[in-house]
Structure 1
Amino acid sequence: MIKIIVGSRGSGKTKTLIDQINEAAKTSAGNVICLDKTLKLQYDLATNVRLVDIDQYGIKGFGEFLGFVCGLMAGNYDITHIFVDSILKVGGAEKDLDGLGVMLGEIDELKDAKDIEFVFTVSAEEAALPESVRKYL
């Protein structure tokens, strides 16, 4: 399942994400992963959440990000949640909403991702989202 948290910069998306991550960490019987471009969330997350600084892996673009996620899933069969803060920054182009929609569709089609809850924050206004992204609201 894929969900997105949408709003303009400074609207509280990351705070909402942190609350969802910590709730998942309390209830999950598997692994909860948070992907971010920094480790700034390390003191806000429960200690059993794996925080990954994806900048350490040189990810540039949505295609490389998708490959990274597939690698995580291949190496760990009991992931229950993957949270991603600021996915447009991760994708490399802050306003590539169409590219985001394509990548979300590819994640949605992954057979092994069906049992994983994905949550992304997107810094954009809801009205600006293409239908390929909007369907995950």
Structure 2
Amino acid sequence: MSFVISRGNKLTFDISHDARLIDAADYPVSDIAGLLGFVGGLHAGNYDITRVFIDGLYKIIGGKDAAKAEEFLVALDAFSSKHSVNFTVSLSEEPESATEGMKRFL
């Protein structure tokens, strides 16, 4: 099972009918801790999740913050290893602006 987490419903007709689209704006997700908790809750309620695509990380967490994005990616990597869930995360930023910790995920 696959999930797409995005702010807004602009991807409604762009994703496979096999994936579930979740509008993060419908939930109180506004920072890294909230998004990690949200992902954990999705997994707890749907043990068969294999893939999660997070579209527009900075839009979901309310602004650009490379240090927080790195923290999120590292935590997501640990979650992925523990629960065998593959994650794809998009964010709008120039590759040169990535922190050293983020570069391993590019």
Structure 2 partner of 1:65: 35
Structure having the higher strand fraction is 1
Q: Does 1:122 align with 2:91?
A: yes
Match for residue 17 of structure 2 among 33, 47, 64 = 47
- Counterpart CA distance in 2 for 1:136 and 1:43 is 28
TM-score normalised by length of structure 2: 0.93
Question: Displacement, 1:85?
Answer: 0.8
**Structure 2: tracts of 5 or more residues without a match:** none
Question: Displacement, 1:49?
Answer: 1.0
Root mean square deviation, CA, Å? 0.9
Quick check: 1:33–1:49 contact (8 Å CA) kept in 2? Answer: yes
Helix, strand or coil for the counterpart of 2:87? Answer: strand
- Pairing of 1:1-137 with structure 2 (within 5 A): 31-93=1-63, 95-110=64-79, 111-112=82-83, 115-137=84-106
- Counterpart CA distance in 2 for 1:100 and 1:106 is 10
Quick check: 1:91–1:100 contact (8 Å CA) kept in 2? Answer: no
Runs of 4+ in 1 over 4 A off after TM superposition: none
1:57-106 C-alpha deviation (Å, 9 max, x unpaired): 0211111000000000111111111001110111112x201101001111
Question: Displacement, 1:123?
Answer: 0.6
- Counterpart CA distance in 2 for 1:122 and 1:130 is 13
- Counterpart CA distance in 1 for 2:14 and 2:72 is 28
**Structure 1: tracts of 5 or more residues without a match:** 1-30
- Counterpart CA distance in 1 for 2:85 and 2:61 is 20
Helix, strand or coil for the counterpart of 1:118? Answer: strand
Higher relative contact order (CA 8 A, sep 6+): 1
